[in-house]
Amino acid sequence: MIIILKQNASQESIDRLRSVLDKHDVKINEITGAHKNIMGLVGDTSHIDIESLMAQDCVENVQRVQEPYKNANRKFHPEDTVIDCGNVKIGNGSLQIIAGPCSVESEEQIITTAVAVKEAGATMLRGGAFKPRTSPYSFQGLREKGIELLIKARSITGLPIVTEIMSAADIDLFADIDVIQVGARNMQNFELLKALGRVNKPVLLKRGLANTIEELLMSAEYIMSEGNQQVILCERGIRTFETMTRNTFDVSAIPLIKQKSHLPVCADPSHAGGLTSLIEPLSLAAIVAGADALEIEVHNDPRSALSDGGQQLTPARFAEVMEKINAAAKFMGRSIG
Ligand code: PEP
Ligand code: MN
């Protein structure tokens, strides 16, 4: 339920409303916006009488929110959420480019790639230390050592780092990470989401392989309902009957999520298409559709990559793609960084 307050409501009348609401078992989120002041009520509001709220001096309107996601809902928070990720912001109208290898493999690999993506204009560095692989016999990531190497790459390049968590048991290892990624396979690992809700750090939440947009928003709700409001949603392609691509890039998810939610949206053209040749066109489509950030896999030597070799760009090709990304951002009136 949302309560829209009158612009000139007195503090006294707002306090009176709050004491009425305190009698119910609901959490009150107060949002002071440029155009509207709103109270969002989360919890069981079914027995709250709308008429009696409307009778309060400070209340302009009361609406029931039908959607099951509340904190993530744009009705609760009409203005875009802006998330601080180290020295960059996601969601403030700029475009952030998160680039780097699928997996952190060695010091030389991550540092070389980090320096190259920075040179080409990336604003954040990605790299997996804990890898969710389909086969237990495939490379599983350097784990703690991978995180140390990412931190080293950040100290050299200044790029904030994004890396994936797979288990809440590892959360302490992520204390010095700028953005914690939840991969597609863990989008509905609800215990992990709840644990991340108690951390004061941005979370990049990727859409599950076969999950709806509403399910993605409900997963964001798990994090937000525990307190952490810093969630970035990521469209990374979904499973369909198409076999020519690794997944099918759901470009309509980008504007739809932005209509339904105030959270920023990232697009991952690498895992969506699974083909280096699709990264440029999918990146451009995502920018035009309104993405706040792109996550692109780049490896200093993709042919020797320990994971996702077929979809990682060389630094030289990434630099070419960045030129087109810059042009598309300019066309959309956005600036990178
Ligand atoms: C990744 O970003 O490295 C990754 C594993 O992506 P996803 O979870 O989208 O498959
Ligand atoms: Mn990958």
What is the CB neighbour count within 10 angstroms for residue 239? 13
Residue 158: which pLDDT band, with cuts at 50, 70 and 90?
very high
Residue 128 DSSP label: B
Q: How far is it, in rounded angstroms, from Cα 122 to Cα 97?
A: 5
Burial of 41: CB neighbours in 10 Å, binned 0-12, 13-18, 19+: buried
236 CA closest ligand 1 atom index: 9
- Identify the residue with better confidence: 312 or 32: 312
pLDDT digits (tens, 9 = 90+) for 49-103: 999 999 999 999 999 999 999 999 999 999 999 999 999 999 999 999 999 999 9
C-beta of 128 in contact with ligand 1 (< 6 A): yes
Residue having the nearest C-alpha atom to atom 9 of ligand 1? 184
Q: How many CA atoms lie within 13 A of 57 on its CB side?
A: 9
Quote the pLDDT of residue 34: 77
- Distance from residue 133's CA to the centre of ligand 2 (Å): 9
Query: Is the CB of 271 inside a 6 Å radius of any atom of ligand 1?
Result: yes
pLDDT in tens, 193-239: 999 999 999 999 999 999 999 999 999 999 999 999 999 999 999 99
Q: How far is the CA of 300 from the centre of ligand 2 (A)?
A: 14
Instruction: Find out whether the beta carbon of 129 lies less than 6 Å from any atom of ligand 1.
Output: no
Task: Enumerate residues 6+ apart whose C-beta is below 8 A from 39.
Answer: 2, 3, 5, 17, 21, 28, 29, 30, 31
Q: Which one is predicted more confidently, 33 or 15? A: 15
Residue 182 Cβ inside 6 Å of ligand 1? The answer reads: no
- Per-residue pLDDT at 142: 98
Q: Is the CB of 246 under 6 A from ligand 1?
A: no
Any ligand 1 atom below 6 A from CB of 132: yes
pLDDT at 35 over 80: no
| Average pLDDT of the chain to the nearest whole number | 96
Length of the chain: 337
pLDDT of residue 33: 80
In the predicted model, what is the mean pLDDT of residues 181-193? Answer: 98
pLDDT at residue number 31: 87
